[in-house]
Structure 1
Amino acid sequence: MSAEEFKKQGNAAFVAKDFGKAADLFSQAIEASETPNHVLYSNRSACYASLKRFGDALQDAEKCIGINPSWSKGYNRVGAAQSGLGNLDDAEKNYKKALELDSSNKAAQEGLEHVQRTQQSRQQQPDLGFGQLFNDPNMIEKLKQNPKTAELMKDPQLVAKVLQFKSNPQAMGTEFLQDPRMMTIMAALLGIDLSMGGENPAGESENPSKKAEASKSTESEVPATEPTKPKAPEPESQPPVTQEDSMEVDEPEVDSKAAADAEKAEGNKFYKARQFDEAIEKYNKAWELHKDITYLNNRSAAEYEKGDYDQAIKTLTEAVEQGREMRADYKLIAKSFARIANAYVKQDDLQNAVEYYQKSLTEHRTPDTLTKLRNCEKELKIRETEAYVDPEKAEEARLEGRDFFTKADWPNAVKSYTEMIKRAPEDARGYSNRAAALAKLMSFPDAIKDCDIAIRKDPNFIRAYIRKASAQIATKEFVGAMTTLDIARTKDTELNKGSSVREIDQLYAKASQQRFQPSDPNETSEQAYERALKDPEVASIMQDPVMQSILSQAQQNPAALQEHMKNPDVFSKIQTLIAAGIIRTR
């Protein structure tokens, strides 16, 4: 899981008052975080304080302010930990530091008031003589060396309690009576043996004579009548680490965020009024108050509308960098990248625009950005094609292709004609010539495609129609070939006075004959007639009343048929019937 996910689970555990689990989750968040995160240390400090592990709480709190010394709530944590350890002067100092950084810090104000009340209470309470006893600066070391207390001093919580009493002897009263470990420590500090004849803490038996001496010594020090014991003071309560305080830490900039959003709202008003300089100023203030890259994105929009595209790109680049560090929503990062691309489009730098649209789509895919990318790529391709156009080089490629074609070097002919097409994409000859070379390579479907492009570029290019029909015949598209030839004949008659009509008619006859070519070489004329009548076009012609009349006249006067064939439509139908074997010629 990511650091953010561990943090969310830690917050949930803290709300459920499962402070041990929360501390463990925040520890995992700290380990998973790529950079030191002051909020995570602050949150774990709150958990330790709730567990009364004030030493650990202090260590994390100091780590927190080490990472971010300007964050006032980090000093709340130091103050709470110091207060828990009984170091009220240090606690007071840190709460005051928090208020210097943020006078509205409610938790710091309450913590300071609590510490000051506790200090005042201390001054009014007697210390029962414990102050002088705990005044030894080497007290902890002596207790660790003493065989009667060495094991006890391995408990860090007990050591923290001893240090607390060292700073606040007045709080010792009830603890002395309630915790037998504290009685052992007190006895060690006073030099009194509490073993009462049993085994001492070190496990060694005592010398009877020394025990008797100690007993006499003790008896001589105790008065005959026991004086009235002063009432033990109530133990000091530590400032509570509340759920509200933890959630304040998890969302550390609530107040600054609200102020920043207010500045942003003002900036939006200026933006809508097209007062872009004023809008930029407001967005800058928002960013200074709270680090949210939304404000940078908004500022870039104002810079973009001003026409300051370089500055907009600079702002958005900063937004991406800051967003990465702050683990901002990937959608915001995507928006920054897309806006950088928009700025490059305005600068007519389509290469960079394509690059940043792609980066945006990597972060978050949206239809709008995808459309812009496709439009950019299309425009780039058009520009590249246009930049390559050169009529002179196109003519050189055409002549080169012709030479290769003459030498029957069809692959190189295709290559040269392709170069011609790139250099002069509107010249129909390049496509037609390449179709001729492709046909030689038996690549008839590609040849047909090139002829279609040539015809589209120049609808009156007769050679393209003829080459297309030849390729269609090769692929057994006989009806299609005849349709192509019909168009070619009409245009040739209109434009060229029928200069290509003979070639066209030959191809037409070839297509017609092959169309009805029998699959069985031993087929009889009757079988051929029956097969022909099954063809939909032949059947339609035979059922046409006009054609029935023409065929009837032809039987009486064959010369009349020649006259009728001057009509292109009748000619086409007669050719179909001849090819099908319905009309036989000698």
Structure 2
Amino acid sequence: MSAEEYKTQGNAAFSAKDYDKAIEYFTKAIEVSSTPNHVLYSNRSACYASLKKYEEALKDAQECVKINPSWAKGYNRVAAAEFGLERLDDAKKSYEKALELDPSNAMAKSGLQAVSDAQLAQNDPTMGMRKIFSDPGLIEKLKTNPKTAELMKDPSLVEKVKKLQTNPAGLSTEMFTDQRLMTVLAAILGIDLGAAPSEPTQASSDNDVEMKDAEPAKPAESAKKSEPEPKVEEPVDDSKAEADKYKAEANALYKQRKFDEAIELYNKAWETHKDITYLNNRAAAEYEKGDYDAAIQTCLKAVDEGRDMRADYKLVAKSFARIGNSYLKKDDLKKACEYFEKSLTEHRTPEVLNKLRSTEKEVKKREAEAYIDKDLAEKARLEGKEYFSAGDWPNAVKAYTEMIKRDPSDVRGYSNRAAALAKLMSFPDAIRDCETAIKLDPGFIRAYIRKANAELAIKEYRKCLDTLTAAREAEVKNKSTANLNEIDSLYQKAMAQRFAPLEGETYEETMARIQKDPEVVQILSDPVMQTILQQAQSNPAALQEHMKNPDVSRKIMTLMAAGIIRTR
């Protein structure tokens, strides 16, 4: 699996509070990532913090900020771990660093306040705790807080909190005997040391030109998608301003589909100021021009330069995505998948994820089509037949599986494999193979019979009877009688087993159970059937006339098998 898929599973496990499993997934994501990804270390840090493994949480958080020192959330992770290790001065500095990078960061603000309160309590435990526990509505708030509601159902814990409201100095002693108070204190302070993993919310400064990835854009569509995105305000030096002028001119030419002139100006922009946005834009023009090899080389350069200058990971993700799109145009699907995965590792977007899935699907389809060979399919069928005759069921399954791969349109492969699977007692798999065979050829009676036998083996009597009814209809439609005796015999066998006495069951108990059977109850409550049964009591010969109706016949046979109707 790709790093993005492991990350998605890790996030799901974290949401389910399975932190150990989440750590396992995030670790795998880190291992398969082609380049270090700060988000993965941040997410794993949150998992460790949730397990109160603060040393590990701190190590991952520090790695996160090492990879991306401009991401405020990374410093929040560092601070949370330091807070858990009671390194309050360090935690304060880390939260302050987060606010320096993002002054509006709510997590950093609340964390800094929590650190300040903890420092106050540390320096003067009585005064600090008195302030924390001074709220007269504290008990009710804790009962409604999702993090403490379950704990506060314990009267003994409620009593301890009440005592701490009158004597907060006793908190340190109580916490040694009741660890739940740490959770209560954290809830009061409003800090979550294990905040959920999330995607970065840092604004992108990408002023990139978008392009239509799947098909060559029409002039009007290309112009629409080429409009630069809004610019995030940031300090601009003289070279940057000059480069942006070149880019603006190039964007106008791009809209007019004058790609060679646009490429020349994007080059000037790059030479004037090193921003990989210009390279990505140049690659967009090369792509639209149809020079996919040039677009690939330009994007690879953008990735290399972007790594060196610590460019926004979204820009790098866009470069990888365009390489993938270019390979897609070159019909090199495996290479396209490779670079779509790299793009998703940098930054997840629905567009690239959908492109990856559809390309992977096409790869599998082509591989399957390239593998088809009817001659080799027949060879595999004969091998399977030999294994089956010799009682070597596992190898028979393998041979018939090869036959199916070589010729998926031959129903015999599925039906024969179902027979071998049934010998191995793998009845659900046998049923699925038979259903596939029936779907491919509704007139292939052997598949119906094998499916019915498998359903009978697992005591799915109702399904078995329905399958045999369908088999009879298909046989009649084929204008054949070759399989009717076998179908009818199996039908009677299924009926008999369905209503047979259970081990140790008396006749009265059997009849009581049968009369509660949903189908029997439905038949007996049917007004039409009630009329027919009343006629049969006075004129048994009338029953034979009604049996000409297939639906009535099935219901009467069910009642006969159940012992409701007896024949002399």
Q: Same fold (TM over 0.5)?
A: yes
TM-score (ref. length: structure 1) = 0.56
Match of 1:180 in 2: none
Q: 1:546 aligns with which of 528, 543, 551?
A: 528
CA RMSD, 1 decimal: 2.3
Where 1:582 maps in the other structure, the secondary structure is coil
Give the deviation of 1:415 after TM superposition.
0.6
Residue segments in structure 1 that go unaligned for 5+ positions in a row: 9-250
Match of 2:50 in 1: none
Match of 1:371 in 2: 354
Give the deviation of 1:442 after TM superposition.
0.6
Q: Does 2:411 match 1:411?
A: no
Q: Distance in 1 between matches of 2:350 and 2:304?
A: 25
The answer to whether the 8 A contact 2:427-2:457 is kept is yes
Residue type at the aligned position of 1:449: R
**Deviations, residues 412-465 of structure 1 (Å, cap 9, x unaligned):** 111111001000112221111111110011100111111111111112221111
Where 2:478 maps in the other structure, the secondary structure is helix
Match of 1:247 in 2: none
Match of 2:442 in 1: 459
Give the deviation of 1:544 after TM superposition.
2.6
Where 2:565 maps in the other structure, the secondary structure is coil
Q: Does 2:565 match 1:583?
A: yes
Give the deviation of 1:557 after TM superposition.
4.2
Question: Percent sequence identity over matched residues?
Answer: 65
Match of 1:530 in 2: 512
Where 1:333 maps in the other structure, the secondary structure is helix
Q: Distance in 1 between matches of 2:393 and 2:378?
A: 18
Give the deviation of 1:376 after TM superposition.
1.1
Pair 1:441–1:521, CA change in 2 (3 A):
same
Q: 1:286 aligns with which of 269, 274, 294?
A: 269
Q: Distance in 2 between matches of 1:537 and 1:580?
A: 11
**Deviations, residues 108-157 of structure 1 (Å, cap 9, x unaligned):** xxxxxxxxxxxxxxxxxxxxxxxxxxxxxxxxxxxxxxxxxxxxxxxxxx
**Deviations, residues 342-399 of structure 1 (Å, cap 9, x unaligned):** 0000000011111111111121122211111111111100000000011111111111
Residue type at the aligned position of 1:468: K
Q: Distance in 2 between matches of 1:291 and 1:375?
A: 35
Match of 1:345 in 2: 328
Q: Distance in 2 between matches of 1:479 and 1:427?
A: 29
Task: Tell me whether 272-281 or 552-561 shows the greater mean CA deviation.
Answer: 552-561
Q: Distance in 2 between matches of 1:541 and 1:253?
A: 83
Give the deviation of 1:521 after TM superposition.
4.2
Give the deviation of 1:545 after TM superposition.
3.3
Pair 1:548–1:2, CA change in 2 (3 A):
closer
The answer to whether the 8 A contact 1:253-1:290 is kept is no
The answer to whether the 8 A contact 1:263-1:285 is kept is yes
Pair 1:344–1:447, CA change in 2 (3 A):
same
Where 1:451 maps in the other structure, the secondary structure is helix
Match of 1:43 in 2: none
Q: How does 1:161-172 map to 2 (within 5 A)?
A: none
**Deviations, residues 56-78 of structure 1 (Å, cap 9, x unaligned):** xxxxxxxxxxxxxxxxxxxxxxx
Match of 2:280 in 1: 297
Q: Does 2:259 match 1:276?
A: yes
Give the deviation of 1:254 after TM superposition.
0.6
Give the deviation of 1:260 after TM superposition.
0.3
Pair 1:459–1:3, CA change in 2 (3 A):
closer
**Deviations, residues 210-243 of structure 1 (Å, cap 9, x unaligned):** xxxxxxxxxxxxxxxxxxxxxxxxxxxxxxxxxx
Q: Does 2:462 match 1:493?
A: no
Give the deviation of 1:516 after TM superposition.
1.4
Q: How does 1:156-305 map to 2 (within 5 A)?
A: 254-305=237-288
Residue type at the aligned position of 1:419: E
Pair 1:6–1:377, CA change in 2 (3 A):
closer
Pair 1:522–1:252, CA change in 2 (3 A):
closer
Q: How many residues align?
A: 344
**Deviations, residues 296-319 of structure 1 (Å, cap 9, x unaligned):** 100010000000001111111111
Q: 2:500 aligns with which of 517, 520, 525?
A: 517
Match of 2:462 in 1: 479
Where 1:426 maps in the other structure, the secondary structure is coil
Q: Distance in 2 between matches of 1:360 and 1:541?
A: 61
Match of 1:446 in 2: 429
Give the deviation of 1:486 after TM superposition.
0.9
Q: Distance in 1 between matches of 2:70 and 2:506?
A: 86
Residue type at the aligned position of 1:444: F
Pair 1:516–1:427, CA change in 2 (3 A):
same
Match of 2:32 in 1: none
Residue segments in structure 2 that go unaligned for 5+ positions in a row: 1-64, 73-233
Residue type at the aligned position of 1:529: M
Pair 1:344–1:522, CA change in 2 (3 A):
closer
Q: Distance in 2 between matches of 1:344 and 1:416?
A: 36
Match of 1:561 in 2: 543
Residue type at the aligned position of 1:577: L
The answer to whether the 8 A contact 2:442-2:474 is kept is no
Where 2:331 maps in the other structure, the secondary structure is coil
The answer to whether the 8 A contact 1:489-1:498 is kept is no
Q: Distance in 2 between matches of 1:520 and 1:6?
A: 74
**Deviations, residues 249-298 of structure 1 (Å, cap 9, x unaligned):** xx997101000001101100000111111111111111111111100100
Q: Distance in 1 between matches of 2:68 and 2:401?
A: 57
Where 1:405 maps in the other structure, the secondary structure is helix
Residue type at the aligned position of 2:345: T
Give the deviation of 1:556 after TM superposition.
4.0
Q: How does 1:43-122 map to 2 (within 5 A)?
A: none
The answer to whether the 8 A contact 2:387-2:396 is kept is yes
Match of 1:507 in 2: 490
The answer to whether the 8 A contact 1:528-1:581 is kept is no
Q: Distance in 1 between matches of 2:393 and 2:68?
A: 65
Q: Distance in 2 between matches of 1:6 and 1:303?
A: 32
Q: Distance in 2 between matches of 1:459 and 1:551?
A: 35
Q: Distance in 1 between matches of 2:70 and 2:321?
A: 31
Q: Distance in 1 between matches of 2:314 and 2:466?
A: 57
Q: How does 1:301-380 map to 2 (within 5 A)?
A: 301-380=284-363
Q: 1:572 aligns with which of 535, 548, 554?
A: 554
Give the deviation of 1:529 after TM superposition.
3.3
Q: Distance in 1 between matches of 2:70 and 2:472?
A: 80
TM-score (ref. length: structure 2) = 0.58
Give the deviation of 1:5 after TM superposition.
4.3
Pair 1:319–1:380, CA change in 2 (3 A):
same
The answer to whether the 8 A contact 2:502-2:510 is kept is no
Q: Distance in 2 between matches of 1:409 and 1:555?
A: 55
Larger radius of gyration: 1
Q: Distance in 2 between matches of 1:522 and 1:292?
A: 84
Q: Distance in 2 between matches of 1:432 and 1:554?
A: 43
Residue type at the aligned position of 1:408: G
Where 1:483 maps in the other structure, the secondary structure is helix
Q: Distance in 2 between matches of 1:287 and 1:431?
A: 60
The answer to whether the 8 A contact 2:284-2:295 is kept is yes
Give the deviation of 1:471 after TM superposition.
0.7
Match of 1:429 in 2: 412
